[in-house]
Amino acid sequence: MPGAIKTIGQVIGVVISLAFVYVSYHFMLGPQIHVHYHFKPTDCVVIDKKLEELVNQRSNRSNYVYRPSFLVVYLVNKQSYKTWTYDILREYSNNQLGQQQILDQVDLVTPYTCWYDPKHPETVVLTRSYTFWAIGFFALATFVALVLISSLLLSFKRKGPN
């Protein structure tokens, strides 16, 4: 019976770790990869910028979280678009100074290269960079899943056929 409980625990661990792999890829790393390989470059002009501020209700460290946002104008197939953007994840950060520095690096009424989704040209980004935490979380989740799967397979191999 203790062996069965251990096996059930291992199966639950594998399922949970695979769920983390899925979530980290689908919601964090996958969109960044999609932008990098599928979005098309186009010229755009930044006509406004702002530091978006949101009340942070999940943390006691800071009352607000921030992200840079840029109003860009661009053309796709002779159709003009105007939208607020920065990166594909649109994540907020409690690092107000870091987000302000991103904002300060971009000049108004200056041409930049933006990348748009050919299937949804209204979706555009000003940067195609990968975030370290998305890569790190995906790598860690994948590593844990592989270790747990290996452990489960080894336990089945040791038991042999019933």
Annotate 11-65 with DSSP letters as a single string: HHHHHHHHHHHHHHIIIIIHHHHHHHHH-EEEEEEEEEEEEEEEE--S-SS-SEE
Average pLDDT of the segment spanning 32-36: 92
Residue 90 sits in the same domain as residue 139: no
pLDDT for 1 equals: 47
Residue 58 sits in the same domain as residue 120: yes
> How deeply is 18 buried, as exposed, middle or buried, from its count of CB atoms within 10 A (0-12, 13-18, 19+)?
middle
The model scores a pTM over 0.85: no
Residue 95 sits in the same domain as residue 50: yes
Residue 51 sits in the same domain as residue 113: yes
Among 53, 55, 75, smallest CA distance to 66 is for 53
Residue 18 sits in the same domain as residue 88: no
Q: Strand pairing partners for 76?
A: 79
Domain that holds residue 20: 1-39+132-162
Residue 102 sits in the same domain as residue 66: yes
The pLDDT tens digits of the residues spanning 77-95 come to 999 999 999 999 988 888 9
pLDDT for 115 equals: 97
Residue 35 sits in the same domain as residue 45: no
The pLDDT tens digits of the residues spanning 37-78 come to 999 999 999 999 999 999 877 656 658 899 999 999 999 999
158 contacts 152 by C-beta, under 8 angstroms: no
74 contacts 114 by C-beta, under 8 angstroms: yes
Among 86, 87, 72, smallest CA distance to 42 is for 72
Residue 101 sits in the same domain as residue 61: yes
Per the listing, tokens 């003009």 go with 80
* Token digits of residue 85: 């953007």
Residue 99 sits in the same domain as residue 77: yes
Residue 122 sits in the same domain as residue 108: yes
Residue 46 sits in the same domain as residue 87: yes
The pLDDT tens digits of the residues spanning 96-115 come to 999 999 999 999 998 999 99
Alpha helices in 25-131 (DSSP H): 30-38, 96-104
What is d(CA 80, CA 90) in angstroms, rounded to the nearest whole number? 22
84 contacts 67 by C-beta, under 8 angstroms: no
For the chain, what is the domain count? 2
Residue 72 sits in the same domain as residue 121: yes
3-state SS class at 128: coil
